[in-house]
Amino acid sequence: MIDQELLEYAQAHTTPESPVLHQLDRETNLTKVYPRMLAGQLQGTLLRFISLMIKPHRILEIGTFTGYSAINLAEGLQEGGMLHTIEVDPEQEEIIRRYVQEAGMDNRIHLHIGSAAEIIPTLDETWDLVYLDADKPSCLLYYQMVFERLQPGGFLLADNALWDGKVLAPRDKMNRDARGIDELNEFVMRDDRVENLLLPFRDGIMIIRKK
Q: In this predicted model, what pLDDT tens digit does every residue of 33-45 receive, in sequence order?
A: 899 899 999 999 9
Res 4: pLDDT: 87
pLDDT of residue 142: 98
Taking only the tens place, the pLDDT of each residue in 136-190 is: 999 999 999 999 999 999 999 999 999 999 999 988 888 999 999 999 999 999 9
**E strands within the chain?**
58-62, 82-87, 109-113, 127-132, 150-159, 194-199, 205-210
- Express as a percent the part of the chain with pLDDT over 90: 93
Instruction: Report d(CA 39, CA 122) in Å as an integer.
Output: 27
Domains defined for the chain, CATH in brackets: 4-210 (3.40.50.150)
Report whether pLDDT(2) > 80. Answer: no
Considering only CA atoms, which of 14, 60, 1 is closest in space to residue 40? Answer: 14
Q: Could you tell me how far CA 21 lies from the centroid of its own chain?
A: 16
Predicted local confidence at residue 1, as pLDDT = 60
User: What's at 162, amino acid-wise?
Assistant: L
Mean pLDDT rounded to a whole number for the chain: 96
Quote the Cα angle for 65-189-174, to 5°.
60
User: For residue 200, is pLDDT > 80?
Assistant: yes
| pLDDT given for residue 172 in this prediction | 83
Instruction: Summarize pLDDT for 78-87 with one digit per residue, the tens.
Output: 999 999 999 9
Mean pLDDT, range 203-209, rounded to an integer = 97
> CA 178, 199, 152: angle at the middle one, nearest 5?
95
CB neighbours (10 Å) of residue 88? 18
